[in-house]
A and B are shown apart, each in its own frame.
Chain A
Amino acid sequence: MRANAVLPYVLIAPSVLFLAAFFLYPLAQTVALSLSDADGFTFAHYARMAGDLNFKDALVNTFLLVAVVVPLQLIAALGMAQMLTKLRKGRDLVLWVWTIPLGVSDLAAGLVWLALLTDRGYLNSALFALGLIDAPTGWLSYETPVTLFFAIVLAEIWRATAIVLVILVAGLGLVPKEYDEAAQIFGATPWQRFTKITLPLLKPSIQTALTLRTVLAFEVFAVVFALGGTSFPVLVGEAYIWQFQNQNYAVASAYAVLVMAISLGATVFYLRVLRTPPEARG
């Protein structure tokens, strides 16, 4: 079994080398940039970041968005995946339609949702036609933070639920049907079968989907910029503004390092909470 000690490292080695060259190397340079100035080592850029006008808002907004969007997406995707298993005809077509947002870039998604929700957009046109409003009404300004927040949540759910769905569907495909049939014979209700059989067997996929989706959710900014402009600061958006508008690469790097630390914290959390012991893996 000596080979088994080496084999996993052989299998991961190519990707580690690849990431070292194309990711870790520039990453190290960026982290160094955030921790140094002309005189050497410094935390000044982090202090500058923490003291910035938008820092606290960006931090709170980002967490709020992740905390609302990710669970909703998981629930929606689980529901959608369950609906698909029961579908007899046209399943291919339905799954295709449901995965279309995979192909929509975040910039295009921002554009569409702006067209829907802006003052003279489709939503207000519909409300106007129904007689609920008599003139264009704003939903997306700093004066309406609650509706702005929900608009961003909606756009994110539309754009990024498909990725969770595909991961879960792929996982469901491997859950043996026999378990479910057996439980049915013993008279388990559909809810019992879902919570006692499907969910536990789906755990590796759920862990993957949650981790990926959470990490991506912390990166959100294009849709937020499109819908909320400067009214809804988020961490990555601030990193972009520091990098490109303010041209202070060091503070931008500090923001990016912070985002990374938070994402990694979330990942470790999922690894712990949703751990699958090796003996339980099939």
Chain B
Amino acid sequence: MTARRLVYYAGIAMICAWILVPIWLIAVGAIGGRQGVFLWPKSLWPREFSFAAVELFLRIEGVGKALWNSVLAAALTMVLSVALGAPAGYALARFAFRGQNAYRLLILLTRAFPIAILALPLTVSFIRWGLYDTVFGVALVHTALALPFAALVSSSLFAGIPRELEEAAWVFGCTRLQAFAKIVLPLALPGIAATAIFAFVISWNEVFAASVLTVRERTLTAYLLTVLSESPLHFRFAGGLVLILPSVVFIFAVRRYLFAMWGIANR
């Protein structure tokens, strides 16, 4: 192995460590026991192993239901944001139409405005519309938050797929829809899966809307965070871990889609 190769692999390993070490430290905080978080100097290895904090979290009344609500809200967000965002992304990529930039600005608005400041009018509307305290209502707000990702990321994907491929299909007698379904969609699908993953993760981690818009139908994040802010430190680490792990596992489970992108590059 050349020296250059060595530097290269060392770089990759260092970036991995840069990402993983902080996650490991949350885990140490969560399982190192109540006093462990206050040790000085700290050690990278927990002094005692105790899953008591994590266990207590999982045993609180309603965590199971909150977990289910979180999964539902995230899944709904995923479906809705792709269904609404991908067509818009295609329009942005393929057509030069009036109002295109205005539309881009509109979808970015949703991320440019702090959602918490909208909480009051949004909650009033949701109560009137009967969406208050429902998982579906939470998913709708999360979709608004995930939409810019879905639309913009899919637009840059569609933009990267050569228009000639599609035009060739028309020449061979395909309708626009057929050409899209047979040529463009298969190429874009992995990237669209990536946007779906974004949507899932955005919904999973969103706290504020989920907490204000629900009372009993809390998502896991909202449920844990209301109890977290005043809880002892090792509980907070345990809560952090409990929240991080599922989305990490989720990203791992769907990594095939993330990586299918590479298939195109390597054709």
Contacts and interface: CB of A to CB of B under 8 A. Distances in A.
Is chain B in direct contact with chain A in the complex (CB below 8 A)? Answer: yes
Contact of B251 (A100, A124, A173): A100
Nearest to B84: A15
Interface residues of A, number: 100
Nearest to A278: B96
B153 A208 contact: yes
A166 B194 contact: yes
B33 interface: no
B111 interface: yes
Q: Which of A19, A116, A259 has the most CB of B within 10 A?
A: A19
A186 interface: no
Contact of B19 (A27, A158, A175, A264): A158
Contacts of A92: 255, 259
A26 B110 CA distance: 11
Interface string A203-215: 0110110011001
A167 B162 CA distance: 18
B153 A14 contact: no
Contact of B25 (A30, A103, A122, A255): A122
Interface of A: 3-5, 7-9, 11-12, 14-16, 18-19, 22-27, 29-30, 80, 83, 85-87, 91-92, 94-108, 111-113, 115-116, 120-122, 124-125, 128-129, 136, 158, 163, 166-167, 169-175, 177, 201, 204-205, 207-208, 211-212, 215-216, 218-219, 236, 239-240, 243, 249, 252-253, 255-257, 259-260, 263-264, 267-268, 271, 276, 278, 281-282
Contacts of B97: 5, 8-9
Given A30-B121, A80-B15, A271 B22 contact: no
A27 B109 contact: yes
B151 to A, nearest CB: 7
Q: Is the interface of B mostly helix, strand, loop or mixed?
A: helix
Given A7-B91, A158-B22, A263-B112, A15 B107 contact: yes
A228 B54 CA distance: 28
A14 B159 contact: no
Contacts of A173: 190-191, 261-265
B22 A256 contact: no
B116 A12 contact: no
B120 A249 contact: yes
Q: Is chain A's interface secondary structure helix, strand, loop, or mixed overall? A: helix
B160 A98 contact: no
A271 B118 contact: no
Contact of A263 (B108, B161, B262, B267): B108
9 contacts: A19-B110, A30-B117, A98-B16, A107-B225, A113-B22, A171-B156, A212-B152, A259-B112, A264-B112
A121 B37 CA distance: 9
Contacts of B37: 115
Interface string B117-153: 1101110010000000000000011011001110111
Contacts of B221: 105
Interface size class of B (residues with CB under 8 A): 35 or more
Contacts of A113: 22
A98 B12 CA distance: 10
Nearest to A12: B88
A173 B160 CA distance: 9
Given A136-B40, A204-B156, A281-B93, A260 B113 contact: yes
Contacts of A128: 41
Given A169-B258, A259-B112, 6 more contacts: A22-B143, A96-B258, A212-B148, A216-B111, A240-B116, A282-B161
A13 to B, nearest CB: 9
Contacts of B251: 96, 99-100, 102-103
Contacts of A27: 109, 113, 118
A22 B144 contact: yes
B53 to A, nearest CB: 14
Contact of A26 (B26, B125, B143): B125
A86 B83 CA distance: 34
A240 B114 CA distance: 9
Contacts of B91: 7-9, 11-12
B111 A22 contact: no
B267 to A, nearest CB: 8
Interface in B7-56: 8, 11-12, 15-16, 18-20, 22-23, 25-26, 29, 37-44
A26 B121 contact: yes
A215 B105 CA distance: 11
Contacts of A25: 121, 125
A18 B139 CA distance: 12
B230 interface: no
Nearest to A18: B84
Contacts of B250: 103
Contact of A204 (B111, B116, B160): B160
Interface in B154-184: 155-157, 159-164, 176
Given A208-B156, A259-B114, A95 B106 contact: no
Contact of A86 (B8, B107, B244, B252): B8
